[in-house]
A = this chain, B = another copy of it.
Amino acid sequence: MGLVLKYGGTSVADLANIRAVASYIREVHATQPVVVVVSAMGKTTDQLLQMAKSLSNALSKRELDTLLATGEQQSIALLTMALHQLGTDAISLTGSQAGFLTTKSHTKGIITDVRIERVQQHLQEGKVVVVAGFQGITPDGDITTLGRGGSDTSAVALAAKLGFRCEIYTDVDGIYTVDPRHYPKAKRLSHLTYTECMEMSALGAGVIEARSVELAKKYNVELYIARSLSTQGSGTTIMNDDYMFEAKPITGLSITDNVVMITLKGIDNDNRRVAGIFQVVSDHNINLDMISQTIDQHNRLVLSFSIDGDDLEEWHQLQSGHENLFRGLDIETHDNLVKLSLIGVGMASHFGVAARVFETLADADIPFYHISTSEISISVTVDNAHQNPAIHRLAEVFQL
């Protein structure tokens, strides 16, 4: 079996790091076929974004993708040169050259296919294939980027197509029960199921995006997350749900900050209107979360959902651009929220977790607003100001 190695921006932040990564790849390549997926060097993406923002206050997403994709294109060429210098045969491929076809949703492209013939050909030639993560091409030949965590998705997609194991090297040494920046006593998880990892990612754990884990689960890709250039085995392995752990109900606590809850009141009991609203929001590439719907005493719908604070301006534009759709509704916006989520595959068989969450917060006089649950998670929103005490109390109660 071969290996897909993925290196994030901090792992290739400067030429010394690039040389170190090349040296590691050379070793690994001695015993097996290797594909490497890289992000842009360190702060490159941020610098390009800053230039773009100073030129235009209504950025074209197509142009932004063309601009940002250069970051990864530079990384693949430089890493390939460093490999050549070590005597390792290697070739760089842009997203387009590596066969990444995506939808036309600029800055949030979705991979529709990976045509891996060229990657396979170079692997057969014994080359290390260095692929630009985070990017693809539309059927029209326009450059797209895959949005947040896109390089991980590129790596997992290649591993899925090739039947390779996927190792993701980053600036943290795996996945923790709670984000250590918020709760220093958190513990590193040596193993985690796909499902738990997806919930933790979707709920803000930040190490790897849920879409990447979902893809890994779908194609049964062995996933390993560790700190760049760390000793083998010191990271977190993400595996099939069949490997069940001991019956600890809660595996981790995820934190999503910059959450805005939007509540629409006074919708006539007409599902077509709700469907229309979701369609428009989807057209604007705004991700909804924590959706709930209730019926008030006048038999009218109350629809509420959360969005990322970064999408708030886009939401306001959407609202003013579709006046008919929102006419007559009472719209409330509640910002400066943080979402706390407790996750564990054991949760489904442990009644009472929700009750303990609410009790813990109530005992600490922390008001909580919205609640959503899944098979293996329970989430609440609290005010930013209460974030730290809430995390500490919950982590202690659930021994994280």
List residues of chain A with CB under 8 Å of any chain B CB. Answer: 15, 18-19, 48, 51-52, 54-60, 62-64, 66-67, 69-70, 73-74, 76-78, 80-82, 84-85, 91-92, 94, 96-97, 141-143
Query: Are B78 and A52 neighbours in the complex by a CB distance under 8 Å?
Result: yes
Query: Are A74 and B55 neighbours in the complex by a CB distance under 8 Å?
Result: no
Query: Are A97 and B142 neighbours in the complex by a CB distance under 8 Å?
Result: yes
Choice from B63, B81, B142 contacting A80 with Cβ under 8 Å? B63
A73 to chain B: which residues have CB within 8 Å?
Answer: 66-67, 69-70, 73
Contact flag A77-B81 (CB < 8 Å), given A15-B54, A18-B55, A91-B62: no
Contact flag A55-B91 (CB < 8 Å), given A66-B73, A73-B69: no
* A58-B84, A64-B81, A67-B81 known, 6 other contacts, Cβ within 8 Å: A59-B81, A62-B92, A66-B92, A70-B73, A73-B73, A97-B142
Choice from B15, B60, B76, B81 contacting A81 with Cβ under 8 Å? B60
| Shortest distance between the CB of A88 and any CB in chain B (Å) | 11
Name the CB-closest residue of B to A65.
B77
Choice from B56, B92, B143 contacting A84 with Cβ under 8 Å? B56
Query: Are B94 and A143 neighbours in the complex by a CB distance under 8 Å?
Result: yes
Query: Are B81 and A56 neighbours in the complex by a CB distance under 8 Å?
Result: yes
A82 to chain B: which residues have CB within 8 Å?
Answer: 55-56
A96 to chain B: which residues have CB within 8 Å?
Answer: 141
Name the CB-closest residue of B to A82.
B55
Query: Are B55 and A81 neighbours in the complex by a CB distance under 8 Å?
Result: yes
Query: Are B97 and A141 neighbours in the complex by a CB distance under 8 Å?
Result: yes
A78→B54 CA distance, assembly (Å): 10
A18 to chain B: which residues have CB within 8 Å?
Answer: 55
| Shortest distance between the CB of A43 and any CB in chain B (Å) | 15
A77→B107 CA distance, assembly (Å): 14
Contact flag A55-B85 (CB < 8 Å), given A70-B74, A80-B60: yes
Per CB-CB distance, the 8 closest pairs between chain A and chain B, nearest first, are A67-B77, A70-B70, A56-B81, A56-B85, A66-B77, A55-B81, A63-B77, A55-B82
Name the CB-closest residue of B to A58.
B84
Name the CB-closest residue of B to A71.
B70
Query: Are A66 and B76 neighbours in the complex by a CB distance under 8 Å?
Result: yes
